[in-house]
């Protein structure tokens, strides 16, 4: 029975090697170097890392008494904002330029950031609402350039 398992393992290894070779044959010659392919465009964990560091620093400052936020829960609105900004960065790295998808991500991130800042700093909605129109207008202009 152990011979059957070892035979199956060997067959699986051979299949994986064949698949990897086929994938490497499809890539351009310049990308098949022996360098590891660890880059920020392939790894989206940096967005989560930046979010955790920022939120942790804010909570630490609040605990040390140097900084106080009444609506600290609004920090969690920044999570999708950071994700949107990360998607825009990934879009630029994948395409070499900002595309319509990236401008949409930037616009969404700015709107969510403004909402979060309004709650965090107690800004008056009656004063801040024109900023949403400005962000929407900038997003429309940028989106029109990248069609």
pLDDT at res. 64: 81
pLDDT tens for each residue of 21-45: 665 555 555 444 444 444 444 456 6
**DSSP letter assigned to residue 27:** S
DSSP state letters, 50-101: HHHHHHHHHHHHHHTTS---TTGGGGGGHHHHHHHHHHHHHHHHHHSS--HH
pTM: predicted TM-score of the whole model, two decimal places: 0.59
The residue ranges of every structural domain in the chain are 1-35, 45-145
pLDDT at 18 exceeding the cut of 80: no
- Residue where the block lists tokens 């620093």: 57
74-117, pLDDT tens digit by residue? 888 888 998 899 888 888 888 888 888 888 899 999 999 999 98
Q: Tokens in use for 47?
A: 């967005």
């Amino acid at each position: 029975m152990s011979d059957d398992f070892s035979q199956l393992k060997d067959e699986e290894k051979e299949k994986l090697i064949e698949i990897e070779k086929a994938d490497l044959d499809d890539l351009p010659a310049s990308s098949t170097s022996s360098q590891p392919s660890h880059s920020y465009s392939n790894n989206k964990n940096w967005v989560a890392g930046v979010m955790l560091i920022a939120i942790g620093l804010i909570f630490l400052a609040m605990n040390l008494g140097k900084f106080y936020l009444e609506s600290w829960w609004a920090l969690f609105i920044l999570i999708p904002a950071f994700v949107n900004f990360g998607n825009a960065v990934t879009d630029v790295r994948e395409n070499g330029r900002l595309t319509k998808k990236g401008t949409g991500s930037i616009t969404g991130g700015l709107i969510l950031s403004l909402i979060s800042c309004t709650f965090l700093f107690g800004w008056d909605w009656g004063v801040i609402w024109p900023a949403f129109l400005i962000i929407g207008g900038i997003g429309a202009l940028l989106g029109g350039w990248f069609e």
